[in-house]
Chains A and B, each alone.
Chain A
Amino acid sequence: MATQTIQRKDPSPVVRQPNRSSKLKQLGHSKALIIMCLPAIAFFVIFSYCPLPGTWIAFTNYNFRDGIFGSPFVGLRNFEFLVKSGQLWLLTRNTLLYNLAFIVIGNILQIALAVMLNEIRAKYFKKISQAIMFLPYFISVVLIGVIAFNVLNYDTGALNTLIKETGGDPIKIYSMAGIWPIIIIICQLWQSTGYGSIVYFAAIMGIDDSMFEAAAIDGATAWQRIRYIILPSLKPTFIILLLFAMGGIMRGNFGLFWNLVGNNATLFNTTDIIETSVYRMIMSQNNFTSSTAVGLYQSLFGFALVMTCNWIVRRINSDYALF
C-alpha cells in the first residue's frame, strides 16, 4: 500500500517530464502506435460519436418533415411506457442478474479453460479440443432455440421421450419458470466460453518464460505454478475485461433470450429482459423515439457503472484501471 501511495504522488519520474513540449515529443515518439490505432479511432468516431447527437430523438415527438432537431420536444414522455407497464423493476433486475451471472461464471470458466489448455502437453489433442470448444460461438442463436425446443419440449422432446421410455413422467419444462435461468445461463456459457478463453490463453502465452523457469528451479508443482504465477498474471486482463463488460450490463443478449423463450409468458417472470420486453411492446408501433429512449437508459446506466467500477479499481490499484 505504502509504495502505491508514493507512486501516485510521484508518477514514473524516469519516463515522464513535467512540461508540455515533452508531451508533444512523446506523441511524436508514439507515431507508429498512433497510426496503428487510427482505424479503431475512426471506427468509434464514425459509428459511436457521430450518431450521438441523434439520441436527441428520445426527447422528441419525431416526424419526418421536421427531422430530428426540428421535431417538437416532449421531455421524458418517451420513457414513460417502461414505468407505466409496471415492469421496469423486474426487467432491470433480470437483465442485471443474468449479465452478472454471465460475467462472473463466464470469466471463471474461461480462465479455468485457458489454464487447462495451457497445461495440456499433447499438441494435437490441445488443438482439437480448442477447436471444438470454439465452434459453438459460430452457431446461430436461432439454431440454439430450435435445438433447445427439440430437446426440451413436452410432446416430442428428446429429454421427455427418454423419460417416458424409461417409465417416468414427462416434465413440462416450458411451464417451469424457475428452471429457465439455469437453461439460459448454460446456453450462453456453452456458446461463449470457448471463444472467451482465447483472450486468457493469449495472456498466459505472454507471461515471461523466465518466471516459469525460476519456479521450476525452485521445485514448484503445477498447481503452485498456476496459483502463484498464472493467476496473478491474468489479473489485469480479467479486470479490463470486467470493466468492458460492465458497460454492457444493461444490454441483454436479445437473440438468445428471444429464441429460447419467445412469447411464452409463463416464463417471463424469470426470463424477460429489457430487450425482449421492449421488442414486444413497440415492435409494431412504428416508434423510434421510445426505442431510442430505452437505448439511452441502458447506455447511461452502463456508462455510470463503468465510471464507478473504474473509480473503485483505480482506488485499489491504479495500474489496473482503464483511465
Chain B
Amino acid sequence: MKRNLMTRATGIGLALALGSACMAGCSSDGGGGTGDSPETVTMLVLGDKPTNGRLENMLEKLNEKLTEQANATLDLFYVEWADWQTQYNVQLLSGDSTIDLITTATDWLYAWENSQKGAFLPLSEEMLQTNAPKTWEQVNKDGDWELCKLNDGQIYFIPEDNYTQWTNHGFFYRGDWAASAGIPDGTITKFEEFTAYFAWIKENKPEAYPWDASATSDAAATLTGYVQGHTDFQTIQQISAGNYYPYSTTEADPYTVSSWLMEGDSIIEAAQLAKEWNEMGVWREDSINYDGDTREEFYAGLTGTDQHHMQTFVTQIVSNMEAKQPGSDPKMFYWGQENGNYFRDIKTHGAMAVSANSSHPEKALEVYDLLRNDQEIYYLLNFGIEGTDYIITDDDKLGFPDGYDSSTDALGSNFWGGRMDEFEPDRTTEAADKWDLYASLDADAKDYPYTTLLFNKDAIESSLAAMSGVLAEYMPQLGRGKYEDPAAAVAEMRTKLQDAGYEDVRASLQADMDAWATEQGLK
C-alpha cells in the first residue's frame, strides 16, 4: 500500500521540523502610556525576584511619590540569576519595547557590546540636561560622561560613578586559626603563607576542609591569585573568553598586549603550588564537581577559607562570622596585596542605560533622576519602608528591625545602576573597620588604565570562543593541581591556544590599543 501525497508532505514536514529547531527572536512594537494617567517606567534589574511581599509594599509607596513628582510609576523586571548571562542578552535581543531602563556595566554586563549592537538609546546632552538635570550635573562635575561614550562620541549609559565599593577578589580566612598556625598576628600577608595555614587546618581541624573549593567558585582562583601578587600583569577586563580573561598588559609596559597565560613562568609556579595544595588535601578530591554552598560552610566552621570579593567581606562575612563563629577573627587576603597590583573598581561597574525601544525615554530619564537623587525615593527603593524593612539607629547607622532575617526578608530591589555615597549610611551589619579597610586598599590601589579603550571584537569572536574551549579544559585542572606535570600541561595549553587563534586576537587588540594610546596622547 502506498500513501497519498498528503502523508508524504506531512512526513517531509515532520522530518524538516525535527531537524530544525533554530529559533530566532521576533521583534514587536508596543505603545507606552500617554495622556494624564501616570506612565509606567519599567527597569530591568538583575537578581532573583523576592516573594516576601516587601518589594510590592515598597513599590506602592514609591509609586505614590513618583506619581506626585513625575506623573509616573516604576515597575521592576527581573533577570534572575539562573542562566542570567544568556537571559540578559536574550532580553535585550528581543527588543522588548516595554522595558525602559536597563541595568548594565562595562566589565560584567556587556555595556559596550550592547551599545555597539544598538540595544541602548544614545543620550544627547540636551536630553540628559532637560530630563535628568541633577544626574547630568553630578556626572559632568566629575568629568565621567567621557567614560560612557562610544567612538561616535555619543553617551550610551549613565555611570554609577559616585558610589564607593571594592570588588577585588581574595581569600576570606580565620585569624584565630592563622594565629594558631604560627602566622604572626594571625594575618596572612603573602599568597604562599596559605600553605602553612592549610597544613595547620588539615592537622588540627579534621571536620573542616582547609579550603572546600567548589566548582562554581572561580576554579582558577589559585592561578590568578598567585600571578597577580607575583607579577605586574594587568588583566584587560574588556576581553573575555568564556569564564576567563586571557589578555593582559604589564605595568612596566602598559601599551603592549600580552598574556600571563602565554608568557613567563608565573602560571607554572602557580600551578605547581596548586598541585602541592591538591596533594595536601586542601580541597576535596572531586572539588571540580562539587556544588556545595561554601559560604555557609565557612560560617559553620567546615571550611577554613572562602573566596570572593571585598564587598562581600565587609557586608556579610564579618557580621556573620562574629555571630556564628565567635572569636574567629575573620580576615581577608586580596589578590595583589603583596605588591599593590590591584585596581579600584571602575566607575562603570554599575550603570543605567535607556532602551533603544523605549516608548518614552524622556520619562524614563526623569524617573531615573528621582531614583538617584531624591533621598526619600532613594531610601524607599534601596532600603524599603522605615520600621518594617530597616531602622535608623541612634548612631545614625542603618539597621534592621527585631526578627529581621536577611535571607528571607530582603527587599531585593537590586538597584545597581546609580547608587550614591551621600545616601548610603553605614550598616550595623558591616565590618566596624570598614573605612580603615577601604583606606588601606585605597592607599596602594591603581586606577584601571583602559576604561575608555574600546575593542572591535567582530573579527576575533570566533577565536575567543575557540580559546575559551581550550581554557575551560585546562584552567580548572591547573587551578586545582590535577596535572602530574603542570609545566607540560601549560606547554600543551599554550600550543592549543595558539592553534585557536591567540596571536590573531592579540594583534587585533594591539592595533586597537595603539590607536587608542595615540589618540589619548599616551604613546
Residues of A in contact with B (beta carbons under 8 Å apart): 7-8, 11-12, 15-16, 23, 26-27, 30, 34, 37, 41, 44, 47-49, 51-55, 57-58, 61-68, 77-78, 80-82, 84-87, 146, 149, 153-156, 172, 174-175, 243-244, 247-248, 261-266, 268, 277, 280-288, 290, 292, 295-296, 299-300, 302-303, 306-307, 310, 318-319, 322-323
Complex interface: chain B residues within 8 A of A300 (CB): 19
Complex interface: chain A residues within 8 A of B464 (CB): 285
Q: In the complex, which residues 19-45 of chain B have their Cβ closer than 8 Å to any Cβ of chain A?
A: 19-27
Which 8 pairs show the lowest CB-CB distances between chains A and B? A54-B24, A323-B11, A65-B118, A303-B19, A247-B18, A154-B285, A11-B2, A84-B466
Q: Which of A58, A172, A277 contacts B22 (CB 8 A)?
A: A58
Residue contact B286 to A281, C-beta cutoff 8 Å: no
Residue contact B1 to A12, C-beta cutoff 8 Å: yes
B465-485 near A? 1/0 per residue, CB < 8 Å: 111111011101100001000
The distance from the CB of A218 to the nearest CB of chain B, in whole angstroms, is: 28
Complex interface: chain B residues within 8 A of A154 (CB): 284-286
In the bound assembly, the distance between CA atoms of A244 and B15 in angstroms comes to 8
Q: A64-B118, A65-B117, A266-B482 are known; give 6 further A-B pairs, CB within 8 A.
A: A41-B10, A63-B118, A64-B93, A81-B463, A153-B286, A154-B284
In the complex, 7 of the A-B residue pairs with CB atoms within 8 angstroms, ordered by the A residue number, are A154-B285, A172-B285, A174-B288, A265-B288, A295-B21, A302-B18, A307-B15
Across the two chains, which residue of chain B brings its CB closest to A296?
Answer: B22
Residue contact A303 to B20, C-beta cutoff 8 Å: yes
Residue contact B500 to A85, C-beta cutoff 8 Å: yes
A299 and B22 contact, Cβ closer than 8 Å, known pairs A27-B6, A155-B284 = yes
Complex interface: chain B residues within 8 A of A282 (CB): 242, 465, 468
Residue contact B114 to A264, C-beta cutoff 8 Å: no
Q: Which of A54, A84, A262 contacts B463 (CB 8 A)?
A: A84
Across the two chains, which residue of chain B brings its CB closest to A74?
Answer: B458
A285 and B1 contact, Cβ closer than 8 Å, known pairs A86-B499, A300-B19 = no
The distance from the CB of B313 to the nearest CB of chain A, in whole angstroms, is: 25
Residue contact B89 to A263, C-beta cutoff 8 Å: no
Complex interface: chain B residues within 8 A of A283 (CB): 85-86, 242
A81 and B462 contact, Cβ closer than 8 Å, known pairs A51-B24, A64-B117, A268-B473 = yes
Residue contact A84 to B14, C-beta cutoff 8 Å: no
In the bound assembly, the distance between CA atoms of A68 and B95 in angstroms comes to 12
The distance from the CB of A282 to the nearest CB of chain B, in whole angstroms, is: 5
Across the two chains, which residue of chain A brings its CB closest to B6?
Answer: A27
Query: For this complex, into which size category does the number of interface residues on chain B fall?
Result: 35 or more
In the bound assembly, the distance between CA atoms of A41 and B7 in angstroms comes to 12
Complex interface: chain A residues within 8 A of B472 (CB): 263, 265, 280-281
A285 and B461 contact, Cβ closer than 8 Å, known pairs A48-B20, A55-B22, A65-B117 = yes
Residue contact B4 to A323, C-beta cutoff 8 Å: no
Residue contact A54 to B15, C-beta cutoff 8 Å: no
Complex interface: chain B residues within 8 A of A16 (CB): 2, 4
Complex interface: chain A residues within 8 A of B285 (CB): 153-155, 172, 174-175
A263 and B291 contact, Cβ closer than 8 Å, known pairs A155-B284, A322-B11 = no
The distance from the CB of A18 to the nearest CB of chain B, in whole angstroms, is: 12
Q: Which of A26, A37, A149 contacts B290 (CB 8 A)?
A: A149
Residue contact A323 to B8, C-beta cutoff 8 Å: yes
In the bound assembly, the distance between CA atoms of A72 and B17 in angstroms comes to 28
In the bound assembly, the distance between CA atoms of A282 and B215 in angstroms comes to 19
Residue contact A149 to B24, C-beta cutoff 8 Å: no
Tell which of B11, B23, B464 has the most Cβ of chain A within 10 Å. B23
Across the two chains, which residue of chain B brings its CB closest to A174?
Answer: B286
In the bound assembly, the distance between CA atoms of A318 and B7 in angstroms comes to 13
Complex interface: chain A residues within 8 A of B522 (CB): none
Residue contact A319 to B1, C-beta cutoff 8 Å: yes
B217-236 near A? 1/0 per residue, CB < 8 Å: 00100000000000000000
Residue contact B458 to A61, C-beta cutoff 8 Å: yes
A306 and B19 contact, Cβ closer than 8 Å, known pairs A263-B476, A268-B473 = yes
The distance from the CB of B169 to the nearest CB of chain A, in whole angstroms, is: 17
Across the two chains, which residue of chain B brings its CB closest to A30?
Answer: B6
B277-291 near A? 1/0 per residue, CB < 8 Å: 000000011101111
Residue contact A23 to B4, C-beta cutoff 8 Å: yes
The distance from the CB of A310 to the nearest CB of chain B, in whole angstroms, is: 7
Residue contact A247 to B465, C-beta cutoff 8 Å: no
Q: Which of B23, B90, B219, B465 contacts A285 (CB 8 A)?
A: B465
Across the two chains, which residue of chain B brings its CB closest to A54?
Answer: B24
Tell me if B92 is interfacial: C-beta within 8 Å of chain A: yes
In the bound assembly, the distance between CA atoms of A172 and B287 in angstroms comes to 12
Across the two chains, which residue of chain A brings its CB closest to B110?
Answer: A286
Residue contact A52 to B15, C-beta cutoff 8 Å: no
Complex interface: chain B residues within 8 A of A48 (CB): 16-17, 20-21
Tell me if B5 is interfacial: C-beta within 8 Å of chain A: yes
Residue contact A281 to B118, C-beta cutoff 8 Å: no
Q: In the complex, which residues 316-336 of chain B have their Cβ closer than 8 Å to any Cβ of chain A?
A: none
Complex interface: chain B residues within 8 A of A82 (CB): 466
The distance from the CB of A64 to the nearest CB of chain B, in whole angstroms, is: 4
A292 and B21 contact, Cβ closer than 8 Å, known pairs A262-B215, A264-B288 = no
Residue contact A57 to B5, C-beta cutoff 8 Å: no
Residue contact A318 to B496, C-beta cutoff 8 Å: no
Residue contact A80 to B462, C-beta cutoff 8 Å: yes
Q: Which of B19, B95, B118, B284 contacts A299 (CB 8 A)?
A: B19
Residue contact A265 to B477, C-beta cutoff 8 Å: yes
In the bound assembly, the distance between CA atoms of A265 and B467 in angstroms comes to 15
In the bound assembly, the distance between CA atoms of A287 and B240 in angstroms comes to 12
Residue contact B10 to A87, C-beta cutoff 8 Å: no
Q: Which of B89, B110, B289, B501 contacts A84 (CB 8 A)?
A: B501
Complex interface: chain A residues within 8 A of B286 (CB): 149, 153-155, 172, 174, 264
In the bound assembly, the distance between CA atoms of A15 and B13 in angstroms comes to 24
Complex interface: chain A residues within 8 A of B291 (CB): 146, 149, 262
In the bound assembly, the distance between CA atoms of A283 and B468 in angstroms comes to 10
Tell which of A53, A64, A282, A302 has the most Cβ of chain B within 10 Å. A64
Across the two chains, which residue of chain B brings its CB closest to A305?
Answer: B19
In the bound assembly, the distance between CA atoms of A282 and B467 in angstroms comes to 10
Residue contact A299 to B20, C-beta cutoff 8 Å: yes
